[in-house]
């Protein structure tokens, strides 16, 4: 018997869409289901593009039939045979198998991979490689990849330069305690909370407009459905701006392009698996100041002290209000209080207790944070000290502002949060291939 050649392999979707009846094809993948009926064995084969039926007949190939009847679900096989029409088969076509190769016979499965609701998320994550064989779960990451590509395409098409910054830093980016400490040879160091300071360096270096899509680390001991200790941040920074409104315009177009690309490419599949997914993007995103938000929330019975940040409950409620009154699932909340913003944020000239900054909420969850940065050296020194930080720890950063720094600003967009809110997922861990939280370090 001739050895089956995987170099001749066709994807299932290709065979079903373009395959010619009567011709021979090689397919390979995982056994999704198997049914033995006497001298016939029916196999549903699954690969990354879909599923199709294989029929193994004893009178066509007794060797293939003997192998097929002993198969287990999720075994990896290759098959070669003739494509025939079949009204009962997926896609109206099936392959009558002449050669069958079992590359790896699967043991009994530790989780139910066909119905994600039958296994807890924690156990599914323990067996992530199996969990991702479910087409629904794979789709999450196809959407995520498409959103990442859409963001990259957007920034390239708008003149931004892609940079790659260090994730090992000598001082906490935000100046807070939410950092992972590491030992860097004989000195202390940290995992970067964001590429913020390096993005600004890119602008001040003369690139003017830069972006990065990469990991960020937050040592937040949260056990919520919306927090991760490691996530993917879509960051950008731009120079020579008039105001933080310029930054919001770019953030708006970037996020809408990410969501629109996912809808365009995967909308039909998404609707099949995620009934609460967003169906269309708004033409523009409304903007309200945080002081307006306080008033809107107060009307709904939620009190937020003026000058405080919005709690997760307040964000959720504000999302409901904006959807009801503005018809938008997204909203920019602007001019956050100085006391809840990092030292590099530009303050309002006439109201220094407020800032030229914003959060972007999507269905009541913050997915992006940004604003205008302070580019005046003397002001930065004062703001560092006001935040209780030692300027000596930021000497390399401060030096940039002594030799010509343009007005600039930028934002960071949480990729997993955008995916989560677009699809209507209940837990952000589903939107991270290998999620990290206070308890999970494996796989």
3-state secondary structure of 294: helix
- Domains belonging to the chain, first-starting first, are 6-104 (2.40.50.140), 126-431 (3.30.930.10)
Q: What are the mean pLDDT values of the chain's consecutive 10-residue runs (443 residues total)?
A: 84 98 98 97 97 97 96 98 94 96 97 95 97 97 98 98 96 73 94 95 98 95 92 98 98 98 97 97 96 97 96 97 97 98 96 98 98 98 95 94 98 98 98 96 95
The phi-psi region of residue 233 (left if phi > 0; otherwise alpha if psi is between -120 and 50; otherwise beta) is: beta
pTM for the model stands at: 0.95
83 by Cβ neighbours in 10 Å (0-12 / 13-18 / 19+) ranks as buried
Partner residues linked to 287 by β-bridges: 332
Taking only the tens place, the pLDDT of each residue in 328-357 is 999 999 999 999 999 999 999 999 999 999
pLDDT at 2: 52
**CA separation for the pair 320, 230 (Å, rounded):** 28
246 touches 373 (CB < 8 A)? no
Max Cα-Cα span within the chain? 88
Provide the CA 85 distance to its chain's centre, in angstroms. 40
Beta strands in 229-363 (DSSP E): 230-239, 287-289, 330-334, 357-362
17 touches 60 (CB < 8 A)? no
**CA separation for the pair 30, 12 (Å, rounded):** 11
3-state DSSP helix/strand/coil % of the chain, to nearest 5: 35, 25, 35
pLDDT at 173: 63
**CA separation for the pair 316, 421 (Å, rounded):** 12
End-to-end CA distance of the chain: 41
| Contacts (Cβ under 8 Å, ≥6 apart) of 355 | 335, 336, 337, 338, 341, 345, 346, 347, 348, 371
pLDDT at 176: 61
Peptide bond into 269 cis (omega under 30): no
Partner residues linked to 209 by β-bridges: 238
**CA separation for the pair 45, 47 (Å, rounded):** 7
């Amino acid at each position: 018997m001739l050895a089956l050649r995987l170099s001749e392999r066709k994807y299932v979707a290709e065979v079903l869409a373009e395959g010619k009846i009567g011709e021979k094809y090689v397919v390979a993948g995982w056994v999704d289901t198997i049914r033995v009926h006497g001298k016939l064995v029916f196999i549903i084969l699954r690969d990354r593009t879909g599923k199709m039926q294989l029929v193994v007949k004893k009178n066509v190939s007794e060797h293939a039939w003997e192998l097929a009847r002993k198969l287990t679900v999720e075994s990896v096989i290759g098959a070669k045979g003739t494509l025939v029409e079949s009204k009962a088969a997926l896609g109206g076509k099936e392959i009558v198998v002449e050669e069958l190769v079992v590359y790896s016979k699967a043991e009994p499965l530790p989780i139910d991979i066909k119905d994600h609701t039958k296994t807890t998320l924690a156990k599914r994550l323990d067996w992530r490689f199996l969990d991702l064989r479910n087409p629904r779960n794979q789709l999450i990451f196809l959407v995520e990849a498409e959103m990442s590509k859409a963001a990259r395409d957007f920034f390239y098409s708008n003149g931004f330069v892609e940079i790659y910054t260090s994730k090992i830093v000598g001082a906490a980016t935000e100046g807070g305690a939410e950092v992972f400490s590491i030992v860097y040879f004989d000195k202390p160091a940290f995992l970067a909370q964001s590429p913020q300071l390096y993005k600004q360096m890119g602008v001040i270096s003369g690139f003017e407009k830069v972006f990065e899509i990469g990991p960020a680390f937050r040592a937040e001991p949260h056990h919520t459905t919306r927090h991760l200790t490691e996530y993917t941040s879509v960051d950008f920074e731009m120079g020579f701006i008039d105001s933080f409104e310029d930054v919001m315009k770019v953030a708006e177009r970037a996020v809408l392009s990410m969501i629109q690309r996912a809808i365009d490419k995967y909308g039909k599949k998404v609707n099949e698996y995620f009934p609460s997914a967003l169906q269309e993007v708004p033409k523009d995103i409304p903007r309200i100041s945080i002081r307006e938000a306080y008033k809107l929330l107060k009307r709904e019975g939620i009190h937020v002290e003026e000058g405080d940040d919005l709690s997760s409950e307040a964000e959720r409620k504000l999302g409901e209000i904006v959807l009801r009154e503005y018809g938008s699932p997204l909203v920019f909340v602007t001019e956050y209080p100085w006391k809840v913003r990092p030292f590099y944020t530009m303050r309002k000239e006439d109201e220094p207790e407020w800032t030229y900054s914003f959060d972007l909420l999507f269905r009541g969850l913050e997915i992006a944070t940004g604003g205008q940065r302070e580019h005046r050296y003397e002001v930065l020194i004062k703001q560092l000290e006001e935040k209780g930080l030692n300027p000596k720890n930021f000497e390399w950063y401060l030096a940039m502002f002594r030799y010509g720094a343009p007005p600039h600003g930028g934002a960071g967009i949480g990729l997993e949060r955008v995916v989560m809110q677009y699809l209507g997922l209940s837990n952000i861990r589903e939107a991270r291939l290998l999620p990290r939280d206070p308890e999970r370090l494996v796989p």
